[in-house]
Structure 1
Amino acid sequence: MAVTTDSRAKNTPAPDSPAPAGTTVSPAQGRAARQVTDLIALLLPLLAFVVPVVLVRRDLISSGILLLNIFAPWVSCLVASYASMGWHARTYDGGLLSARTLTGRHTIDLARLTKVGRLEVPVQTRMDDRLILTDTHGVRLVLDKLAGGDETVDALVRRALLARPPGAEVIVSDRAAERLDLRKEVTRPRRRLKPGRKIREGVIDNVPLLAFFVLTPVCFGVTVLAWLLANPG
């Protein structure tokens, strides 16, 4: 009887790959990069507000620099969302999943996942749909596919989650559970998986529009406030 590709992806474990020559893979790899990028995303709007105000008040720069406050929150969101975006993802010995990112190589320990989320962003005529994986080391990796082979990142993560012992309480968002076909498992009382946040389908479809209407007034409000503080009286 013929076996389809989807069946193999769900039922056949992917063999662990040896690290290519020159590639170093280890648990917690990418944790420092995640901490730095999260800090940058958090502090960027604050620095873009405080530093220009101080410099303008001392007549060291022109007031035009205050317009940075319009763009800083958007840049901050992009840093937080895309710094851990992975490509060329592969599995390695020891149940490790590693991929290249903009901030270097990030390596997730699949046996020690703590959170599984889902990033969905409408892009022209399609949806950019990726899983957000976080392990106990604090490493985060955003993926949509693996490099080569029949295995999919969905099957790999689903198998890792179902292998977790009772009481592990891995947080799985409602949208991620839907993608991984784990909604029933999340609601079971064994508490192997713990329900995460729920976002309605209609909200996901309009994320760019909602972000525009939420962030734009905030950006302009902060810019006006910076202008008033930098030019008192």
Structure 2
Amino acid sequence: MKEKDVDYVLVPLGLGFMILYHIWLVYTVVKHPTRTVMGLNAQSRNQWVFSMMSDPLKNGVLAVQTIRNNIMASTLLATTAITLSSIISVFVSSTSNSDHAASQLVYGNKTSLLSSVKYFAILLCFLVAFLCNVQSIRYYAHVSFLVTVPTFIDRREPIHYVARNLNRGSLFWSIGLRAFYFSFPLFLWIFGPIPMFVCCIIMSFVLYFLDTTTSFTRSLHSYSLREKTESSAIEAV
């Protein structure tokens, strides 16, 4: 097989495998949220917002500190993403007309056009990660104000609104983290399509075990939710 044929076959297969996995993940999160970690975390955040806003005078400091920790995590990822984007831009501009010795380790097309596509794909991943983490910081900062607003337990609309904004911030944080995950196969694509394809397959299986839940986790989570609902009902009475 020619070198360019290896790129044309393995690279779309690897990216297609990861894209199909994430399509399945989105479908499972929407239709069966309790089977995924993201779905269970979203339900837990709803309960957390309910417990924090039920007594903001008592839990206000704890809520703001928790949101602040999330803002710091998003800030760290955003700073890392924009720093790596700047480094890649400087590196590409300084070596645009030079051949990379590392690309000769495995079969791969070594033309300048393909090298530009590789670095542009990596740069795009980091830019997406930066923008998503900035949006995450925006939602977290908004929630830090709303979570300390006094409300009543029987008024669920403000609580649902705060929980929805918190879940949106977490969603953008997860998308930014996925962009970092996608950058690993693209980095290995510099050394050739074979390491990139192997990395896509391995990462998809690793993410499957990280994203899905076991029956024990689901039962434990449902038990904690029932216990929290019963205690809240007793307090309301």
Q: Shared fold (TM-score greater than 0.5)?
A: no
Specify which structure has the higher proportion of strand. 1
Specify which structure has the higher proportion of helix. 2
